[in-house]
Structure 1
């Protein structure tokens, strides 16, 4: 058999390779493609095959590596995932785009809720919302940092209760 040309020798293993490929792909068409790719690589890299070694094992290794490098990754990319769930209107509000009218109404509700806050809560909260640090707010209002944290926490709690329809 070693007197045969390399191309003819690798073809003699086609049935074995096909059975091996079916084990990976579970699909006869994909197995045929995998065997074809294996032959292309075997011919391309024939110079790397050492005469006298196990040709069948060499071809199996090429097939296995080809599968792991190409077919398995393509399998994940080609699948279509469909998810059907029933969504509630409040869930859609967070994910859908809104028009300017809805945004205006939401802004008005937020502003009303902010106006209802006591000044001792609203001023530290607004400074925090603007990006000031607790220490900077404490220094500006000449109050302890713990008081700043408490007032911001209370402002959040009040706003959350006033705006719970948007949560």
Structure 2
């Protein structure tokens, strides 16, 4: 079998592979990334595929192993980062500013602006900034996904109004 024939066979499995990837990731964008990684690995190692065996099963195993390896890598990275310095909305600007006193003013203004937000907007926004995905926030707060997106969008608009002085300084 030529590599072009092999590639064609793999692309025939794309829809089923994408559905399988979504089961792993619970996120369409992450699933597409996983699918792409799987296809690239399959094409790269097509010489190891034994013709006449189950191609779909081989691809599923590649996808499962890729997902597990990526998951382990992300866990290690997160543990290294969080051991060094806990990352939260309260210290997001620390590494982005040059002056310690400027940092305290900026963080004070951000904290003040967040405190002025209604609680139904601030909680989803803070969780989003801390790295939670929309669907995770919706589950945690037991509210619909669309409501989470709307509240985060509204919080951004209100914060942009309250902190517009920083936007003007950057322009």
Normalising by structure 2, we get a TM-score of 0.42
**Which is higher, the Rg of structure 1 or of structure 2?**
1
Normalising by structure 1, we get a TM-score of 0.43
